[in-house]
Amino acid sequence: MTDQQGSQEDSAKKKQRKKDKVRSAWISFVGRIVAQIVGAAATVALGVTVLHRYPPREIRPPSGEGSVLARPSAPVSVPRPAGKISLAVLPLENFSAGREHEYFSDGMTEALIADLSKVDRLHVISRTSSMRFKGQRKGLREIAHELGVQWIVEGSVARVGTRVRITAQLIDADTDEHAWAERYDRSVTDDLALQAEVASAIAREVCAALPQGGAPDPAQPQPRTGRPSNAPGTSSGNFQFSAVMEP
């Protein structure tokens, strides 16, 4: 009987110790939660106090800059060089059936820029600047204003099989009138040789159509040079480098 009572007492003590452990665990858990809540509340209260005591300063733009910041920047005009005729060659458009011929029209553009750059009286815009306008539908006056030139050479390339047509025009951007235009039909046997031949021919015609000497005085009226738009050898229409292969 004594042994049974002792066993019951031991069991009761174990249950009590287990209850004490559970109670301690709950007290510790609740204490941590309360501490976190109190800490968060204290942080919020401190932040509100700091904001009320030290309000943020309003940053204002300098006088006269507010309207500038609100408007998109306008294209910057490049001044025209004195004493030379300013000219830009726009990327020739690829009117061929596939985009795989894009390399040929780009090569023609580079060759034409290189040949015209050799003429001392011309100031020719670099290929990098001109190629920015590839695929863009801007007016010639706007492009000339951004590049700081008076004269624009533009055109296109149409290639079918071994036949290619290259059409070119020279435009006075100040008046939006064309001074010269021509088309060149060739058989393609050597791409590089053809590019060099046609680029050289176009460069000669452009130089002949441009005013002689340096840049003209804008205060003095200048006679028109080159062939009129309806003269033999020129294309009709708006003299873009557009071309369609003849059957």
Model pLDDT for residues 226-244, shown as the tens digit of each residue? 443 333 343 333 333 333 3
Q: Does residue 191 share a domain with residue 95?
A: yes
Residue 100: predicted pLDDT: 78
| Distances, alpha carbon 1 to alpha carbons 6, 7, 8, 193, 211, in Å | 9, 10, 11, 122, 133
Greatest mean pLDDT range, 17-26, 96-105, 166-175: 166-175
* Cα torsion 137, 198, 147, 174: sign: negative
- Structural domains counted in the chain: 2
Number of C-beta neighbours around residue 56 at 10 A: 6
| Residues 67, 74: Cα–Cα separation, whole Å | 13
Q: Does residue 187 share a domain with residue 142?
A: yes
Q: Does residue 129 share a domain with residue 93?
A: yes
Residue 168 pLDDT level (bands cut at 50, 70, 90)? very high
Domain residue limits at 11: 1-59
Percent of the residues in the chain that have a pLDDT greater than 70, as a whole number: 70
Q: Does residue 202 share a domain with residue 91?
A: yes
| Residues 115, 112: Cα–Cα separation, whole Å | 5
Q: Does residue 167 share a domain with residue 106?
A: yes
CATH code, 185: 3.40.50.10610
Q: Does residue 104 share a domain with residue 21?
A: no
Q: Does residue 93 share a domain with residue 21?
A: no
| Distances, alpha carbon 74 to alpha carbons 68, 70, 79, 145, 222, in Å | 10, 12, 15, 12, 31
| Residues 238, 61: Cα–Cα separation, whole Å | 48
Percent of the residues in the chain that have a pLDDT greater than 90, as a whole number: 36
Q: Does residue 94 share a domain with residue 203?
A: yes
Q: Does residue 104 share a domain with residue 54?
A: no
Per the CB < 8 A criterion, the answer to whether 170 and 206 are in contact is yes
**Residue 215 belongs to a domain:** no
Contacts of 52 (CB under 8 A, 6+ apart): none
pTM for the complete prediction? 0.55
